[in-house]
Structures are given as C-alpha cells and as structure tokens.
A and B are shown apart, each in its own frame.
Chain A
Amino acid sequence: MRKKFLSLLLATAMLTTVFAGCGEAAGSVSDSSEVSGSVSETAAASSDSSAEQTDTADESLSFPKSDIFKGETDQQTYPLSDEKITLTFWYPQAGSIGTLADYNDSEFFQWMEEKTNIHIEFIVPASGEETQSFNNLFITGDMPDIMYTQPKHQVYRDGMDAAIDDGYIMDLHEHLDWAPNYVSWLNSIPTAKQDVFTDSGKMYGFWSFWDNMENGYADQGLSIRKDFLDKVGMDVPTTYDEWETVLTAFKDQLGIEAPFYTSKYGIDHGEFMAGFGIAPRFYQVDGKVKFGPMEEAYKDYLTLLHDWYNKGLLDPDFATRKSTGVAADNDMMLNDKVGSLIDWGTRMTDAYISRGATNPEFWTVAAPQPKLSADAPDPAWREVDNNYRDIQAVCLLVNANSEHLEAATRWVDCFYAQDVYLNANYGIDSEEGTVWYKADDGHRIGNYDFRYSNPDGLDSATVAAKYWAKNPPIRCEAAQIEQMPPERAASYAVWSKYAPTNYIPVTVTMTSDENAEYTQYYTDIDAYIQENEVKFINGERSLDEYDDYRATLIDMGIEKCIDIRQASLDRYNNR
C-alpha cells in the first residue's frame, strides 16, 4: 500500500535534479531583457575615425581589394538559387514586429524572396528570452542557417574564436568570394580591419554598419516633457542643479508621480551619470580600463540619486519596473505620470500619440547630458552599443554546418548592396510615393506621415515592420532623421552633443580562457552591484558603507575582471 508512494517519491526527487542539463527554454522573464528592442533604436556617434588604413600590415588580416564603393553596384547574380530553397533565420526582433504575425508578412522580405528565390523561415524568440534561446541553439544541435546576434548579449560562451574553432560558426574569411558586396564595404571603411577580425585573424560574421557616419548622431538620450516645462515656466535643464529644480517643480506644482523615471536598477545606461566623469560599468580613459562603481565619483552620483529618491523626484516604484533599460512603462508615459526619462528617438511625441497618448498637449523634447556645472568637463560616455565609429554591435552569423552554406552567405551579402539596403531602409521600389518619396536630387526620404499617421491606422512600430526590414545590416542614418519634422530631428543633435570617447568597442574580444575566468567572477559581481545600487538609492543600505562595498567587490574579484578587460582592449588597440 505504501509502496505506491515510492513512484511519487522518485518523481519528486528526480524533478529537483539537473534541470540545468536539459535544453528546454524556461521562464518568461529574464533579467537580460534589455536585449529586446534597443538595438533598433540606438544610433551613430561621430568619433574620430583616426585609425589609418593599414593595408599591408599582416597577411592573415586582409580581405580582397574592391573598387566598388559601399556596395554601389550589386555584385550578386539573381536569383541566388535556381530552385527554391528555404533558409532558417534566427531573428530576435519580437519587440519590433508590431502587430504582424510573421516577418514574412513584411513587404520587404516578400520582395527579397522574389528577387533571390530563397524563402526565409523566421525564428523569433520571445521578447526577453533572446539570450537563453541563443545559448540553446548550440546545445540542441538544431542551429538555424543564419543568426542575427548582438554580441554584447548573445555570444558563444567561450568566445567568438572558439565558436569558429568548435565548428559552429562559419569563418567568413575563408568564403569572402561569396560576399563581394560586404568586401566592398570593408574596403570603403578605414577602420574596418580593426573591428571585423577576431584576435586570431578570423571573421566571426557579417558586422553591421551605418551607411554614413559623417553626421553621426545618437538616437537615444534624455527626454523631458516640454508641456510640463512650459507649465512650470522653465527651460530644458543642463546641469544637475537645474534638473533638481525642474524635477521638484514637476513634483510640487504638477503632482507628477515619477518626475524622473529610471530603470529597475535605478541606474541608467550612463547618459545621465556621465556628467560625473563615470560610466555604469567598464569604460576606458585613454586606453586604460576603469570600472564605474570603483570610482569615488560613482558614490557621489548614488548620493545624488538617494537624495532625489527621498525627495520623491525618482519613480517610487522604480525597483519593480520591468524595463531594464531605456523607455518607460507605456501606461505611465501615456497617462502623464512621467516627467522625464531616457528614451529612444523613434518613441518621441508622435510615436506616443500613435500609441494612444490622449493629452492633446503631449510633447517631449530632448535634453543634453547634464554637467556638474556649466564649465565642468563634458560628459564622455553614453550607450553607443550600436555605433562605435561606423560599426554597429550587430553581427550576422552563418551556421558552419548549414546545408546551404553558399546560399546563406550570399543571401546575407545581398543586404550590403545599395539597391537592397535602400529598399530595406526606406521601403521597396514600388512603394515610391507612399512609404517613401524622392527628394529633388533623387535620394530617398521616408514618408513621416505614412509612418506616424498611417492611413490604414497602423501604429508606427507595425508600419516599420511591414514596409521595411527592421535593423538591416546596412542602416541608413538619413532614414531615421531626414524624414522627421525639424523639431524632432533636432533631438539627435542634442543627444549627440558630447562625444562618447570613453566607450569600449563591442568588437573587443576575450580569449576562451579569459572568458571563462571573467564570467566566473563577473556574473556574481554584476548581481551584487545591481542589488546594492538599488539599496543605496532607496536607503536600505547607508552610503557610509560604500568603502565596505568596494572592498567586497575587490574580494569578489573585480580587479581580475578589470585586468582581463584591459588585456583584451590592449590586443584590440594593437590589431
């Protein structure tokens, strides 16, 4: 009689064992959900493209010559395949799909299929599960032909080199003859060599570029409600003291619930803190790697936030917000509960109105990164993940074991040809006059009204997903700005006011051993920091203990992490 419980017991005991081993996707909320939409929306920072072209340096670090400038002439022959083939494409853009059911509903991808005779089966992981979904691709042995990755969040655990050595990812260097359009880009960009090769001289995949960085800009930054500012009779603040005055006025005079909206960690991407001369985590000053929380100025910044929290100037519920990075809770934003935040350019006023903001006066404007005082040094850091020089932190990988290796490589390469990337950025040729129109000199301009007051009543995100490719490998910066009314486009100049010179490029790579040691320490350190920063801000932990806190970080191995980052940055600088 009792024996029948034995099986139950076994089931119970076993269930608690080794769930880490099986490759099943679990949980619906992940801490790294900042991955989700943000690639799409960040933009170009002008940086001194000083590195000179070193054609003759190392024989292994070279690509064929091309006299075609930036894919102006498409060198692929179409269709890419005589018979219809299907490729699988891992495309973590769940946050950008709008109300479409599948990216094959996109006019651009339909056009692309007709042109290339290649059908794409999109694999779109759920929003917030991108990283774990990517990890699982390697375990399940069911790897798609092409993968769209953000190496900051999605990289093979042992590093980029190892992904190639272990036979998962194709070394593009060996197959550049299939990628003539990409080669033309590499030849057109002076700094490409430093970024596209790994430390051991391999090419991990197709890196993404901006079409033109001459007028580089950021499309993410501080955003403040202009209508609120007008009500309290103030100007856009530029120093921390002015910010405090403005936020206090929002709170006292207008009763705004969250005068300044922060992410759930209380720490932004660095846009706001950079005035203190620091960054949220690792950054560099003249080639020397530093770690924000170890700096004295970081304590000052937390002291300021703690003070603001006590005064009710921060969102009282910040620690429970789902958002880990930019952009506020939609409902709060639309219901006038947020006074200022860090936001994406494409989410400004008109986007909120297309999402249903009902206040007729709703109006946000960009604010520059604040400084300590008017004559203090310029902020030198902001999140420029998607644009360091011309390069974006997006890399398209080809599965080394793909059945259609050549077709997959050529398909990705198409995106580097001008006629394809123009269609991808603005809308396909036949949509001239609706989705885009021609300027007097013949170049394309996106139709702003079509996007933000769509005749079919689609919201702006769905329009983007339906008529062009979200974040194609070549992104036209003009597609973002030029279509906008001048007062919107001006925000990019405001956000780009200071150059993010302290940023560490995402193309810096660690070796497999470094990777293993680094993650061993840093995973715990990162969790510890997130937790304590929230406590320092809301006062659960006193800032008097900051020295103890730093000592704990050292015990946990932060100095080794800094050393590793330093070593990898040095190698990068010597590439």
Chain B
Amino acid sequence: MSSVSTAKPLKKKFTERLKKDFKNHWQMYLLALPVIAYFFIFNYAPMFGIVMAFEKFQIKKGIFGSRFVGLENFQRFFVSPFFWRLLRNTLLISLYGLLFSFPLPIIFALCLNEVRNKKFKKTVQTISYLPYFISVVVVVSILFDFGKANGLITNIATFFGWDGGAVISSAKWFRTLYIGSNLWQHLGYNSIIFISALAAVDPTLYEAARIDGANRWQQTLHVTLPGIASTIIVLLILRLGQIMGVGYEKIILMYGPSTYETGDVIASYVYRTGILDADYSYSTAVNLFNSLVNMVVLFTANFISRKVNETSIW
C-alpha cells in the first residue's frame, strides 16, 4: 500500500499505476482478493437493498417494481410515538456502556501489568475472559434467575432499600443489568488488546524513567499510558462508530412489556417491524436512519481526534 502513496514524483494516471503495481505485486492482490470479495458480496451488494427504504416494498414486485414513495417511511418513523424513546434508549444504553465498559478493561490491563507474579497474572487473565465464552442466552437466563422476585440481585437490592419487586421486570433496572452483565462478560476479553499493547511498550523507557527517579505511579502515567494512547484512541473511535449499534440479540432476550420503556432500542424495533411483521420498507428506513446517525458520530469523533491529538483512523 505504502509503495503506491510514495510514488509521488511521477504522477501517472491511476489505472496505469495500478497496472504497474499489479504486475510487480500480483501475489499481494491475489491474497487480498478473498477479502475484497467478502466485503463486496456481504457488505456492498446488500447495501443495494437500501432502496427499499424509499419504496412501498412488495415482495412480489421486488425492489425494481415496488412503488417509490420518497421519504414517507422516514416520516412515519419520525412521527411515531416511539421515535424519541427509541432514540433515547439507544443512545443511553450505548453511552452508559461506553462510560463503563470502555475504561474498565484499560484499568484492568494496567493493574495486571503491575502484577509481578507471572503465574498469578496468567490465572487472573484466564479467569477474567472465561465468561466471554458463555452464550448470551445463558447469561440472560442467569439474569432472569437472579433478578426475579426472590432472586439474588433483587434480594441484594432490597437489602439496600429497593422496594420495587423483581429487578428483571423493572424498567429502572434494565440498563444497569444490561450493561453490568455485558461488563462481567466482556471485561477480560476486551482487556486482551490493551495487555498486548502494554507488552509492546519499550522496556528501556521504564529503565530510563527509573533512573530519572520515577516511581511506579509516575512510570504508569508518563511511560505506560502514552505508550498505549494511540491504541486507546483508535479503539475509542471505533466504539463511537457503533454508538447506535446496540445489538438486538441480547435486548430481545432480555426485554419484556414491563421494560420496553428503557429497553426497547432501534435495533429491536427494526427486528419487530421487519422480521416479525414483515414491514420491510419501514424497518429498512428506520435502520438506515440509525446508520446515518452512526456515521455522523463516527466522522465527528474522527475529525475531533485528528485535530486534537493527530490520531485518527483515516
């Protein structure tokens, strides 16, 4: 890739340069082919279906034959009584999720990094990412069991003054349980990338810092953190890119009529209208709106990051 961008002085036509590059590095292109094909077949080709969002789609008439209705489907969503609630729930679950589940794996990785006993460190790490391999269905059943009227979590909450009955069927608890269980499940696994980034920090820097008289805390602050800062920022931007992308799987397993108020998100709404009610145009429009908001957030985050600390994903 870099060879293309550095061949600046002789500014030939793109196709010509491509041809030449292909001749020299055709093996590389061959290697990349499956990936390109993958993205084209599974990500770009289906994007064509977005057209449905602007149609009154009928299965028989297909994408080409259905009547074009412009923004009607979007209008229907914007005036829907659920619009603001869906938007709010999606954003809040994401933001709270980001707030808790982004920094904690970093802190966890930093703590592990300070542990000197290798055996202990390995054990803790293994145990911490074990929950990642538990199916989300199982995790949700555990939540249901612990959250029912006389379940563990409800009893603990009651001990601290909660009097609303089963926490699992309370709208007030939905986000806490959703994010809390996510955290428990993903903390260890998400910290792996930071642990490996930490391993890549040059040991001589620590040596130099120690010679300069830095203690452990100062070493963390001035050597470790800057060392993994770019990883953190890139991952943060990627996370921001998913800000509207709360997955529907866990939500539809967890929510019920009593928790729609805080638990119903755009993805689960799309699932209900699109998959269950077969209202394809409308659900495509809703999801397209979701993706647009997502994209705006991503571009903004990337732009700010590039201005502020010159790290960005493109």
Binding site for B on A (CB under 8 A): 2-3, 5-22, 26-32, 131-132, 135, 138-139, 157-158, 162, 166-168, 264-265, 316-317, 319-320, 516, 519-520, 523-524, 527-528, 530-531, 533-535, 538, 540, 552, 555-556
Contacts of A534 in B (CB 8 A): 169, 256-258
Say yes or no: A3 contacts B272, CB within 8 Å: no
Residue pair A319, B256 in contact (C-beta under 8 Å): yes
How big is chain B's contact interface, by range? 35 or more
What's the Cα separation between A530 and B261 when bound, in Å?
A: 11
Q: A13-B295, A320-B256 are known; give 4 further A-B pairs, CB within 8 A.
A: A7-B39, A19-B270, A20-B284, A30-B252
- The answer to whether A16 and B290 touch across the interface, beta carbons within 8 angstroms, is yes
Q: Which residues on A sit within 8 Å (CB–CB) of B58?
A: 158, 166
With A7-B35, A9-B238, A552-B81 known to touch, is A531 a contact of B50 (CB < 8 Å)? no
If A6-B313, A556-B81 touch, whether A135 touches B283 (CB-CB below 8 Å) is no
The verdict on B291 contacting chain A, using a C-beta distance below 8 Å, is yes
Q: A2-B312, A2-B314 are in contact. Are A264 and B287 (CB under 8 A)?
A: no
**In contact, A20 and B258 (Cβ under 8 angstroms):** no
Point out the residues of chain B lying under 8 angstroms from A19, CB to CB: 270, 287
Q: Within the complex, what minimum Cβ distance (angstroms) separates A35 from chain B?
A: 11
Q: How many angstroms from the CA of A520 to the CA of B238 in the assembled complex?
A: 35
Determine whether the beta carbon of A21 is less than 8 Å from that of B49.
yes
Whether A317 lies near B278 (C-beta < 8 A) is: no
Residues of A within 8 A of B46 (CB): 17-18, 21-22
- Contact residue among A7, A17, A31, A316 (Cβ-Cβ distance under 8 Å from B288): A17
Q: Is the CB of B314 within 8 A of A6?
A: yes
Q: Is the CB of B47 within 8 A of A18?
A: yes
Task: Identify which of residues 124-154 in chain B touch chain A, using a CB-to-CB cut-off of 8 Å.
Answer: 137, 144, 147-149
Q: Interface of chain B, helix or strand or loop or mixed?
A: helix
* B151 → A minimal CB distance (Å): 9
- Which B residues are CB-close (under 8 A) to A527? 82, 257, 260, 264, 272
Q: Are B298 and A29 in contact (CB under 8 A)?
A: no
Q: Is B93 an interface residue (CB 8 A)?
A: no
Question: Given A13-B298, A320-B169, A555-B81: A523 and B273 within 8 A (CB)?
Answer: yes
Give the Cβ gap from B8 to chain A, nearest Cβ, in Å.
17
- A and B contact pairs by CB, cutoff 8 A, 22 listed: A5-B234, A7-B39, A8-B238, A9-B241, A9-B298, A9-B314, A16-B291, A17-B50, A17-B287, A22-B46, A26-B275, A27-B275, A30-B276, A135-B278, A166-B60, A319-B256, A320-B168, A523-B277, A527-B82, A527-B257, A527-B272, A535-B258
Contacts A13-B294, A167-B60 given; does A18 touch B276 at CB 8 Å: no
Interface contact B257-A21, CB-CB below 8 Å: no
How many angstroms from the CA of A332 to the CA of B314 in the assembled complex? 57
Residues of A within 8 A of B249 (CB): 26-27
Which residues 218-276 in B have Cβ within 8 Å of A in the complex?
234, 238, 241-242, 244-245, 248-249, 252-253, 256-258, 260-261, 264, 270-276
CA distance A523 to B81 in the complex (A): 12
Complex alpha-carbon distance, A531 and B35, angstroms: 45
Q: What residue of chain A has the Cβ atom nearest to residue B274's Cβ?
A: A20
Residues of B near A29 (CB, < 8 A) are 252-253
Chain A hits for B238, CB < 8 A: 5, 8-9, 12
Residues of A within 8 A of B109 (CB): none
Residues of B within 8 A of A (CB): 1, 35, 39, 43-44, 46-47, 49-50, 52, 56, 58-60, 76, 80-82, 137, 144, 147-149, 165-166, 168-169, 171, 234, 238, 241-242, 244-245, 248-249, 252-253, 256-258, 260-261, 264, 270-280, 282-284, 287-288, 290-291, 294-295, 298, 311-314
- A13-B291, A27-B248, A531-B258 as given contacts; A20 in contact with B270, CB under 8 Å: yes
When chains A and B are docked, how far (Å) is the Cα of A556 from the Cα of B79?
10
Q: Given contacts A13-B295, A16-B294, are A524 and B80 in contact (CB under 8 A)?
A: yes
Chain A nearest CB from B292 CB (Å) reads 10
Residue of B35, B82, B257, B273 with most chain A CB atoms under a 10 A cut-off: B257
CB neighbours (8 Å) of B271 from chain A are: 26-27
**Cβ B245 vs Cβ A316 within 8 A:** no
B88 to chain A, nearest CB (A): 15
Contacts of A265 in B (CB 8 A): 257
A28 pairs with B137, CB closer than 8 A: yes
> Could you tell me the distance in whole angstroms from the C-beta of A354 to the nearest C-beta in chain B?
26
Instruction: Please give me the residue from chain A that is nearest to B290 by CB atom.
Output: A16
Are the CB atoms of A20 and B275 closer together than 8 Å? yes
A171 to B166, CA, bound (A): 51
Q: How far is the CB of A421 from chain B (nearest CB, A)?
A: 33
A73 to chain B, nearest CB (A): 40
Q: How far is the CA of A282 from the CA of B82 in the complex (A)?
A: 23
| Beta-carbon contact of B257 and A18 below 8 Å | no
The interface residues of chain B lying within 8 Å CB-to-CB of A519 are 277, 279
In the complex, the answer to whether B148 meets A317 with C-beta atoms within 8 Å is yes
B245 contacts which of A15, A31, A524, A538 (Cβ < 8 Å)?
A15
Is there contact, CB below 8 Å, between A18 and B294? no
**Chain A residues near B298 (CB, 8 Å)?**
9, 13
CB–CB A28/B168 < 8 A: no
Complex-state Cα separation, A167 to B58, whole angstroms: 13
Decide: B242 and A2 in contact? CB cutoff 8 A: no
Query: Is A11 within 8 A of B166, CB to CB?
Result: no
Q: How far is the CA of A20 from the CA of B271 in the complex (A)?
A: 7
CB distance from B282 to the nearest CB of A (A): 8
Find chain B residues with CB under 8 A from A166 CB: 58-60
Residues of A within 8 A of B52 (CB): 21
A21 to B50 alpha-carbon distance, docked (Å): 8
User: For B313, what are the chain A residues with a Cβ–Cβ distance below 8 Å?
Assistant: 2, 5-6, 9
Q: Does B291 lie within 8 Å of A31, measured CB to CB?
A: no
Contacts of B277 in A (CB 8 A): 157, 519, 523
Q: How far is the CA of A516 from the CA of B73 in the complex (A)?
A: 13
Find out whether the CB atom of B294 lies under 8 angstroms from the CB atom of A32.
no
Contact B169 A14 (CB under 8 A): no
**B278 CB, nearest partner CB in chain A, Å:** 4
In the complex, chain A residues whose CB is within 8 Å of the CB of B49: 18, 21-22
Q: Which of B234, B270, B271 has the most CB of A within 10 A?
A: B271
The 5 closest A-B CB pairs, nearest first, are: A21-B49, A20-B274, A166-B60, A319-B169, A14-B43
- Our pick among B56, B241, B275 for the contact of A13 (Cβ within 8 Å) is B241
A135 to B165 alpha-carbon distance, docked (Å): 38
Q: A13-B295, A28-B137, A533-B257 are in contact. Are A18 and B288 (CB under 8 A)?
A: yes
